[in-house]
Structure 1
Amino acid sequence: MDLASRTIRLRYAHDRRIYGTGIGVAIVDTGICQHPDFLKNCNRKIYFKDFIHQRTLMYDDCGHGTHVAGIIGGSGYASGGKYIGVAPNCNLIMAKTLNYKGDGNISDVLIALDWIVKHKEELGIRIVNLSFGMGNKEISQDGRNLINAVENVWDSGIVVVAAAGNGGPNLGSVAVPGSSKKIITVGASDDNIEVDLMGNRARNYSGRGPTFECIKKPDIVAPASNIMSCALARSYGADKFRALNNNHFSSAAKDGRERFGNFYTEKSGTSMATPIVSGAIALLLSIKPNLTPKEVKIKIRDSCVNIGEPQSKQGWGLLDIENLLKA
């Protein structure tokens, strides 16, 4: 996150002690492990709900959710602050719906989204992060059910942020539920870099619009390639998964692991760009708590930086946190 932080001008927020305090971010993913960056040097709460095995203690048998959570709200404790998340004081609500492979059932995701709406006041949930996706062609009934569910979450007053998917570079490759017209869909600003995705070398992977229903997407882009964040402890098991990410270690990642032990790993994909935007919105809502989801989306639109790519790739442009907090 150290390099990505510069790209999105995160320092502007942290220099002003804007850390997302009090804002609840629900992460529908593979869970979260007991990493030092979630347990130490933190001024926040973590809630865990397991929709697969109904376990009560927080865990992650994959690693994807832990990495995503670290991008949003890791304290950076194990790295001396080097790999601090975007909103390190936000509250994390972890909804485990994906298994050790990063796969899941739509039914579990739908139940989790309904649970989030029902508990939004109790847990202070303002944002839902969805770093996963499914087929982007003609939408199946499952896909329509998922889109209806995320739009219901949005209509309840919660900002929904979803990945554009890694199906690029063809037009019309944005994944469901990122194809929803209402929610905020995030693509990669740096997918020109060749990375490993699910064991394959890829570049120009970010999902492109328009959607199957001719909706302009994505809405915004953020760094997605070789993002360093919290790693799964070895004792938590599997390190291979398929939730819009990879488990590739570049030389930079290896250097980080040598310096900070096994606490951090590097991953790529729009799964990593999405929590960067979710964290930025947590910063925004912590200083402007009365904003509605629609108003948040407008501020995102008005604060992005044009990076000279087609609208089908960059949407409104690159996330810029200084612009966003000033908007």
Structure 2
Amino acid sequence: MAVTYGGVGRLATALALMWITTGAVAEQPLRIEQLQRCGGLLQMDIQEFCLQASGLDEGEFQVTLNGTPLPAEAIDHDSDRLRIRLNSADAQSGPLWLSQHEQASNPVWVSLKGSNVVAATEQEVAKNMDGITTYVDLVSLIIEESHDGAQEAQRLADKYGAEVVGMIPPLNTYQLRLPVSDLDERDALVLRLGNEVSVDAVVTEESGAEESIESETSSPPDADDQEWASNRFLDAVNFYQRRLSLEGLDGDIETQPIRIGVIEREVDFDAPDFADYLGECRAEATRTCVYARDAAKPDGHGTTVTGVLAAAWNEGGNSGFLRGLDEVGPGFDVIVDRNSDAGITANVAASVNLVEDGVRVLNWSWGIHRVGAIDINGKEIDSLVRSGIAMSGYEELLEEFFLWLREAHPDVVVVNSAGNASSYSGRDEYRLPSSFVTDQLFVVGGHQRSDEDVQVEDPRYVIKRNASNIDMRVDITAAACVRGSSLLEGEQGEAHCGTSYATPLVAGLLAAMMSIEPELTPAQLRMLLRRSAMTIGEEYDFEPTDADDLTAPILPSERANELNHPDIGLSARLNMYKALDLTVQSLNRER
């Protein structure tokens, strides 16, 4: 058959288009973008999880949990969506990933501990009188501990025509979907539920599905790598590698693996900072591993926060502290999870699951202020605010969480950002969760490099970030500015600033300290942080002036009872190197 020139041209064009299309499909990376409990959230024996993946075609693929492939009958596949059924008696919480065509996806953490809450859709929220987005028909009941929570929640649901749709069993908290259609009906029913003898509190959720966990503040014009020098970041990495290596002076120290829970949505695994965390990360025993849903862009809050802990070195814009310890480290697990987009309630549910899965350090780079809260200049705060009714419910929920933590998991610490509203971190009528006073909660403020040409130990080396919240409840300050991740290898991302990024510096350090001495209590960890701290700010003789007390002042007891020590009365600045040094010294004293 004769083929004309035009026909050949059209055929070549068609083949080229087919090649381009096929190539584009082949090049699309395999990623897990969403993972959530689905089906009956109250069912514990068989738990179902719904996944949304990208880069998955119709060919054969494999789903692996904890290094073991799942049987085909446990998986339903429909295009880019998967539904997985797990028998709780046969499975344990752990990393799950997909494999296809010699590609492996990002690993996500699957928790089988059962605390899950439902997020509202766009059609199930409304604006309240304060102009804040609030859930219309979803509330959570904190049941008095003298009652069986599950039974009582079901009784109340039957009584009021509601449905139990979510739960946090360790906190005796159950989520109900109410038979209401507007906020007036909701508030009337919430009032009736709150008057039930068995109900300790009702939590009304005020959250948009895609609201940022904590707002960022503008970066300084010349933010660079000197920021972390103010906390002796590289000195700490060098100390850990040198002193804990087999050839080091303390080579007989057996470090222990530590799990860190990061309450964030997702991480961008396309960024060079995270590109080598795909698939079975734990095949290498001593390396840091990251488990998270995949983000669409590298400049998100979760990617930047996680990068402070685990970004690869010399690959992208960030360098993770724990990743720098890989050569001699015990193998840190960084688990990024937020349960669902159900706001503060979901943050708490995720935290409960992670603690029950063995997490020792929780990173909470988030917080909220009550409507009407004022900053240090007397101006009203207008970001990340919640109504008084919502704040009361959150306060009760967080109180239950910390009571449970103290009773069931006294070795766990929570590291929380002080906030970026130029306000007070410790006033419970204004700020949550940083206002809670408990040994297990560490509150972190933010500082930045000053223009002073002084040694790093000098208090003038840094200044407080103007936006950072302050007061006596802040335990310590750390560098607030960090370079974010980028999609281009070797390229520095834009600077991100806020107490959100100071927080993982402290969380990572605490994890490293625990890896050296796992028996350290939260009170001992705080003591080591404060004793090792450098200083920031002016001396106030314990009397704050002009609302400028950045942290609780350093006490004589934190300086070997030297009443005339120059640090006394100053605020505390993170010294990562000295904290590790004191941790090793404490081991030697025990011997």
Q: Could you tell me the TM-score, scaled by structure 1's length?
A: 0.71
SS of match in other structure, 1:127: strand
Cα separation, 1, equivalents of 2:403 and 2:537? 30
Cα separation, 1, equivalents of 2:579 and 2:483? 23
SS of match in other structure, 1:323: helix
Q: Do the aligned residues in 2 keep the contact of 1:229 with 1:264 (CA within 8 Å)?
A: yes
SS of match in other structure, 1:12: helix
Cα separation, 1, equivalents of 2:502 and 2:536? 16
1:170-209 equivalent positions in 2, closer than 5 A: 175-182=431-438, 183-190=441-448, 204-209=466-471
The equivalent position to 2:528 in structure 1, one of 294, 299, 302, is: 299
- 1:165 counterpart letter in structure 2: G
The equivalent position to 2:576 in structure 1, one of 312, 321, 325, is: 321
SS of match in other structure, 1:113: helix
Cα separation, 1, equivalents of 2:549 and 2:577? 24
The equivalent position to 2:307 in structure 1, one of 52, 61, 70, is: 70
Cα separation, 2, equivalents of 1:175 and 1:33? 30
SS of match in other structure, 2:304: helix
- 2:420 counterpart letter in structure 1: N
Identity, in percent, stands at 25
Structure 2 residue 406 is the aligned partner of structure 1 residue 164:
no
SS of match in other structure, 2:337: strand
Structure 2 residue 87 is the aligned partner of structure 1 residue 87:
no
Q: Do the aligned residues in 2 keep the contact of 1:147 with 1:176 (CA within 8 Å)?
A: no
Deviations 1:11-34 (A, max 9, x none): 222223449972211000122221
Q: Do the aligned residues in 2 keep the contact of 1:189 with 1:221 (CA within 8 Å)?
A: yes
Q: CA RMSD in A?
A: 3.1
Q: Which residue of 1 aligns with 2:474?
A: 218
Distance 1:92 1:4, change over 3 A: same
- 2:490 counterpart letter in structure 1: F
- 1:112 counterpart letter in structure 2: A
Distance 1:61 1:165, change over 3 A: farther
Q: Which residue of 2 aligns with 1:312?
A: 549
* Greater fraction helix: 1
Q: Do the aligned residues in 1 keep the contact of 2:425 with 2:435 (CA within 8 Å)?
A: no
Cα separation, 1, equivalents of 2:497 and 2:469? 14
Q: Which residue of 2 aligns with 1:107?
A: 345
SS of match in other structure, 1:230: coil
Distance 1:165 1:64, change over 3 A: same
Q: Could you tell me the TM-score, scaled by structure 2's length?
A: 0.41
Cα separation, 1, equivalents of 2:343 and 2:502? 23
Distance 1:203 1:221, change over 3 A: closer
Unaligned runs of 5+ in 1: 49-57, 194-201, 210-215, 234-256
Cα separation, 2, equivalents of 1:118 and 1:275? 21
Deviations 1:85-117 (A, max 9, x none): 222143211113575xxxx51221121121112
Deviations 1:16-71 (A, max 9, x none): 344997221100012222133234388122234xxxxxxxxx21357111100001
Cα separation, 1, equivalents of 2:396 and 2:295? 28
Q: Do the aligned residues in 2 keep the contact of 1:78 with 1:260 (CA within 8 Å)?
A: yes
- 1:134 counterpart letter in structure 2: I
Q: Which residue of 1 aligns with 2:173?
A: none
Q: Which residue of 2 aligns with 1:116?
A: 354
Cα separation, 2, equivalents of 1:264 and 1:96? 25
Q: Do the aligned residues in 2 keep the contact of 1:150 with 1:177 (CA within 8 Å)?
A: no
Unaligned runs of 5+ in 2: 1-223, 245-254, 282-286, 327-331, 374-387, 452-463, 539-543, 555-571, 583-591
The equivalent position to 1:141 in structure 2, one of 371, 393, 400, is: 393
Cα separation, 1, equivalents of 2:395 and 2:449? 26
Distance 1:149 1:7, change over 3 A: same
Q: Do the aligned residues in 1 keep the contact of 2:226 with 2:449 (CA within 8 Å)?
A: no
Cα separation, 2, equivalents of 1:228 and 1:206? 18
Structure 2 residue 347 is the aligned partner of structure 1 residue 130:
no
Cα separation, 2, equivalents of 1:186 and 1:294? 16
Q: For the pair shown, which has the larger CA radius of gyration, 1 or 2?
A: 2
- 2:528 counterpart letter in structure 1: K
- 2:318 counterpart letter in structure 1: Y
Q: Which residue of 2 aligns with 1:279?
A: 508
CA positional deviation for 1:170: 5.7
Q: Do the aligned residues in 1 keep the contact of 2:268 with 2:295 (CA within 8 Å)?
A: yes
Q: Do the aligned residues in 1 keep the contact of 2:426 with 2:434 (CA within 8 Å)?
A: no
Distance 1:189 1:144, change over 3 A: farther
CA positional deviation for 1:144: 3.1
The equivalent position to 1:96 in structure 2, one of 338, 346, 354, is: 338
Q: Do the aligned residues in 1 keep the contact of 2:476 with 2:573 (CA within 8 Å)?
A: yes
CA positional deviation for 1:77: 4.1
Deviations 1:220-246 (A, max 9, x none): 10011x311325x5xxxxxxxxxxxxx
Q: How many residues align?
A: 267
Q: Do the aligned residues in 1 keep the contact of 2:273 with 2:307 (CA within 8 Å)?
A: yes
Structure 2 residue 490 is the aligned partner of structure 1 residue 260:
yes
* Greater fraction strand: 2
Q: Which residue of 1 aligns with 2:228?
A: 5
